[in-house]
Amino acid sequence: MEIRKVLSRKEMKLVTLLLTSLLIATASATVYYSLVMGPTRVTTAAASIKFVAGDDSGSSAAGASGYTTDGTWVKFTNLKAYPNATVTYEQAINLSNTDTSNAHSVRFRHKSITNLNGSATSGNFTRIAFLLVAPNGAKQITSFNYTGGVSWSTPSTTGYISIPANQEWAIRVETLAVSGATANVMVEIEIYVDVQE
């Protein structure tokens, strides 16, 4: 039997059209494959560089910075700025490299500064500085300065500084308010201390 006899001309056109549609649909379908990544394991670990108490960190002593920390973050609660007088917290908090074999590098990076008493806050301050100081206190390694005025001038990110294995360096904080500064004006500063492992 011949195919022509089995299928009429209309049926043949329909079968051809159907096969052509299937071919087009198959050719235009998205082809993809998946790569597998895993299993990924993440392990908790102690930080190599961490915040530890310094000589001026106490929360109740006069001149103390007053702080709360868990080692990877710190919050100061008692820093003061006096008009026309630089207040220095020699060891507001310290950075400790707890790794006994390897040096690790740190840098300071600005996150935010918030005027808690409105836009005039910055005009009451001359400077708030965070300085990284080598262990003996004699050598200032880097400074990170906020300057007041009409508005705050924020510091640029510092370069990375290497802290040798098993050493503790101080973060010195210096504050200075303008002459005749209004009492109880507050500013809140957040800084990242980036660590290279």
Tell me the backbone φ, ψ of residue 10, rounded to 5 degrees.
Answer: -65, -40
Read off the pLDDT of residues 24-77 as tens digits, 9 standing for 90 and up.
665 555 667 788 888 888 999 999 999 999 888 775 555 677 888 999 999 998
Tokens representing 15 are 């079968």
Q: What is the pLDDT of residue 102?
A: 95
Tell me the backbone φ, ψ of residue 33, rounded to 5 degrees.
Answer: -145, 165
Please check whether residue 135 is in contact with residue 118, taking contact to mean a CB–CB distance below 8 angstroms. Answer: no
Q: What is the pLDDT of residue 27?
A: 55
